Chains A and B, each alone.
Chain A
Amino acid sequence: MDYRTLKSMKRTHPAWLLLMADHAPLVVSFLHHAFVDPNVRTLPRQELVSKLEDQLFHLREQPGEEAFPKNAEQYLDDWAADERGWLRKYYPVGSDEPHFDITPATEKAIDWLAVLQQQHTFVGTESRLLTVFELLRQIAEGTEIDPEARISELQRRKARIEKEIQRVHDGHLDLMEPTQVKDRFLQMANTARGLLSDFREVEQNFRDLDRAVRERIASWDGGKGALLEKILGERDSITDSDQGRSFGAFWNFLMSPARQDELTSLLNTVFTLATVRDMEPDPRLKRIHYDWLEAGEAAQGTVRRLSEQLRRYLDDRAWREDRRILQIVHEIEQISLAVRDQPPDGDFMALDESAPTIGLPMERPLFSPPSSPMINQNVLLEGDQDIPADALFDQVYVDKAELASRIRRALQARSQISLAELVEDHPLEQGLAELVSYLSLAAEDSDALIDDEQRQQLTWTDADGRQRLATLPLVVFGRQARSGAGMAVP
């Protein structure tokens, strides 16, 4: 934290630059709304542009607000520029559209501002002190090599627990005070949120590790044998690093379904406590473990991809060919500069095509004279014929509820009734529309059966007095099925 370092940081660190930016309120509020709040890891360009346009539109409407001169796309490209480093712009596999994500520096700046906003009348101390103790204890125990010391510590713990069991037995239930609950809850909330916001940095660390390995290989000056040895060690360097191990352990812990159920039930229990509810906690906290899963999955995907590609790069010795390639290209560049003003003309080099040439003469269509559209120069007049529009208003409305109650009534007398029999008892008054409604009821009803193999015929008289006949699959309505009783098809 010395003067010189801070001076350079002020000029270059994206987080500091963001806080000092003129448009900081716009940038921070927008990026928080687009990425941090919904816990989104990546957004395609089109979506982000339209979100920013909405925001800018609203802001420009407000009187007294500065007019933001540039359009959304320009702002986004500006924020993703190397000098600023607030957004990361990249092409993911499988999409031609660039995607954006916030950088860890931006996330830190946003978090810091969010913390400033929180007003705690109460700063918890006891809970954090206990955590410090617990962590130190874990380290000490975990590194204890003397079995005697370990056993005596475990015995001490056992004695404490037994004493506590005795107390509960005797009816002394030690309940936590509201203050203690608040203290611990606040600490939990801060740690959980902090964990979530660290995932981007975890991903960035993985990317940096990958880059470092590739750089080491590209700039290796020593002998090939030593390099090969080094290579073999580097194959798993991403997953074996501190970051890799810690993240791996976290992921394994979180992925177990038992743990997730435990987290869900614990969170539910805690959130129902009166003390906690009084604190009006952020409801997102209740599902923080799902947010972790989403963020963790993104990081896990990155690790997997990077490790796979690194392994391939090393195994295929692509790096070796690349070094040679760069060298030759460099030499070509030198020579090209020398002949710059008199470049060779005519054909210079050749490359194989990517497949044998197959002439497809029949693929070329024969000439067909182009059809020119006839454009009629008629003037459109408004028609003033008095056509009776009654037909439009003559829609048939079928009351499905009425049909359903008809079916139920019929089923009171017998356990099954086919559609044909039903229609005999209640002739169709609204023709085909009513029939189709019956069919739709049958399709929705789980106690109805439609048998395609057998056919039924129905007749009815339509509004003009003509007899109509329909042949359709057998439809049988049945009573609500009780404990396994099957339906017999007649």
Chain B
Amino acid sequence: MSVSDTADPFSLVLIALMKGVTYREDDPVRWQALLDLQPRVRDYVLVLGLELILDEAEGHAFLRHHQVDDGEVAPPRLVRRHQFGFRVSLLLALLRGKLAEFDAAGADTRLVLDQGEIAELVRVFLPETANEVRLLDNIGSDINRIVDMGFLRQLKCRDDQYEVRRILKAFVDAQWLSESKQKLAQYRDHVIGTPEREEESA
């Protein structure tokens, strides 16, 4: 057994996963170690009620709360949840839609939007207001929230440009969007009444 200069790769891989998403492009050596040690990692994190989500094609991996089978007792949640309001949910959905459009049109480069474009995307769904500045400020803080969640990345040289990170696909998926839609539809029915009911009362 030779003395190595670096720590045990298994430790490095686990610690990285504990801190956030592991991207292949950030550290290819660590990524390869993760691929090699996958079974050990899965067993290790299962003890903590976590499961490893690894997408080799996209080049990212992270830990998620492990859904237990029916009948088993679920351990307490270790992974917290971001809670956010309607505007941020809507913006996430629209960004996911934009990413889907982008992929359907060709995939040579990355999706980068500037603040103006993001604002245009969501504006039409926000209430009319004469205070343009406040509107843009609100959108700006929504964008910052999404940056904190890790789905948008500010570009290094131009700070008004944001890259839509592909990890968004893993979190804002069809199921989450369906849930959002359902919740929103329920809200609409509650507030406005369903279209059929409106016609009845008209």
With an 8 A cutoff between CB atoms, is A160 at the interface? no
B127 touches A351 (CB 8 A): no
A328 touches B178 (CB 8 A): yes
With an 8 A cutoff between CB atoms, is A253 at the interface? no
* Residue in B closest to A328 when the chains form the complex, CB atoms: B177
B177 touches A357 (CB 8 A): no
Contacts A94-B25, A322-B103; A335 near B85 (Cβ below 8 A): no
B103 touches A313 (CB 8 A): yes
When chains A and B are docked, how far (Å) is the Cα of A217 from the Cα of B104?
8
When chains A and B are docked, how far (Å) is the Cα of A324 from the Cα of B89?
18
B155 touches A96 (CB 8 A): yes
Residues on the A chain within 8 Å of B100, using CB: 322-323, 325-326, 329
Pick from A15-23, A206-214, A415-423 the stretch touching chain B: A206-214
Residues on the B chain within 8 Å of A337, using CB: 124-125
When chains A and B are docked, how far (Å) is the Cα of A94 from the Cα of B110?
10
With an 8 A cutoff between CB atoms, is A352 at the interface? yes
B107 touches A309 (CB 8 A): yes
B85 touches A215 (CB 8 A): no
With an 8 A cutoff between CB atoms, is A92 at the interface? yes
* Residue in A closest to B100 when the chains form the complex, CB atoms: A322
With an 8 A cutoff between CB atoms, is A344 at the interface? yes
Contacts A94-B25, A358-B18; A352 near B174 (Cβ below 8 A): no
With an 8 A cutoff between CB atoms, is A318 at the interface? yes
Binary per-residue interface labels of chain B (71-97) against chain A in the complex, 1 for a CB within 8 Å, 0 otherwise: 000000011111111111110111011
When chains A and B are docked, how far (Å) is the Cα of A322 from the Cα of B185?
22
Is chain B's binding surface mostly helix, strand, loop or mixed?
A: mixed
B81 touches A350 (CB 8 A): yes
With an 8 A cutoff between CB atoms, is B191 at the interface? yes
Contacts A97-B157, A339-B188, A343-B127; A92 near B103 (Cβ below 8 A): no
Binary per-residue interface labels of chain B (172-188) against chain A in the complex, 1 for a CB within 8 Å, 0 otherwise: 11101111110111011
Q: List 25 A-B contacts (CB under 8 A).
A: A93-B110, A96-B156, A210-B107, A214-B103, A214-B106, A309-B108, A321-B173, A322-B103, A322-B104, A326-B100, A328-B181, A335-B181, A336-B125, A341-B128, A344-B187, A350-B83, A351-B82, A351-B92, A351-B171, A351-B172, A352-B80, A353-B80, A355-B21, A355-B79, A356-B80
Besides the known contacts A309-B107, A348-B183, 15 further A-B residue pairs in the complex with CB atoms under 8 A apart: A92-B109, A96-B156, A312-B57, A328-B177, A329-B93, A329-B94, A335-B185, A339-B191, A339-B192, A341-B128, A344-B85, A349-B180, A351-B81, A354-B63, A355-B63
Sort A-B residue pairs by CB-CB distance and give the 9 closest, nearest first: A329-B97, A322-B100, A218-B104, A356-B78, A350-B81, A211-B106, A96-B155, A96-B156, A348-B86
Chain B interface residues (CB < 8 Å from chain A): 17-21, 25, 48, 50, 57, 62-65, 78-90, 92-94, 96-97, 100-101, 103-110, 112, 124-128, 149-150, 155-158, 163, 167, 171-174, 176-181, 183-185, 187-188, 191-192
